[in-house]
Structure 1
Amino acid sequence: MTYTINRVISGQDIDSVDARARKALADNGFGVLTEIDVKATLKKKLDVEMPAYRILGACNPGMAHQAIGIEPRVGAMLPCNVILRETEGGVEVSAIDPVASMQAIENAELKRVAGEVRDLLAKAVAAI
Structure 2
Amino acid sequence: MAYTHDRIMADTGIDDAEARVRAALTEAGFGVLTEIDVKATMKKKIDKDMDGYKILGACNPDMAWEAIGLAPRIGAMLPCNVILRSVEGGTEVSAIDPVASMQAVDNAELHKVAGQVRDMLVRAVDAA
* TM-score normalised to structure 2 length: 0.99
Asked if residue 106 in structure 1 is aligned to residue 106 in structure 2, the reply is yes
**Counterpart secondary structure, 1:102:** helix
Residues 1-128 of structure 1 mapped to structure 2, 5 A cutoff: 1-128=1-128
Partners in 2 of 1:89 and 1:120 — Cα distance?
26
Q: Is the partner of 2:40 in helix, strand or coil?
A: helix
The runs of at least 4 aligned residues of structure 1 exceeding 2 Å deviation read none
CA distance in 1: counterparts of 2:61 and 2:104, whole angstroms: 22
> TM-score normalized by structure 1?
0.99
Matched residues in 2 for 1:65 and 1:92: separation? Answer: 30
Amino acid at match of 1:73: R
| Deviation readout 1:6-36 (Å, 9 max, x if unpaired) | 0000111111000000000000000000000
Structure 1's unaligned 5+ residue stretches are none
Say how many residue pairs are matched.
128
Aligned counterparts of 1:95 and 1:30: Cα–Cα separation in 2: 13
Letter of the structure 2 residue corresponding to residue 112 of structure 1: K
The residue identity in structure 2 corresponding to 1:35 is: E
Give the match's secondary structure for 1:49.
coil
How far did residue 90 of structure 1 move?
A: 1.2
Structure 2's unaligned 5+ residue stretches are none
Give 3-state SS (helix, strand or coil) of 1:103's partner: helix
The percent of aligned pairs where both chains have the same amino acid is: 66
CA distance in 1 between partners of 2:23 and 2:72 (Å): 29
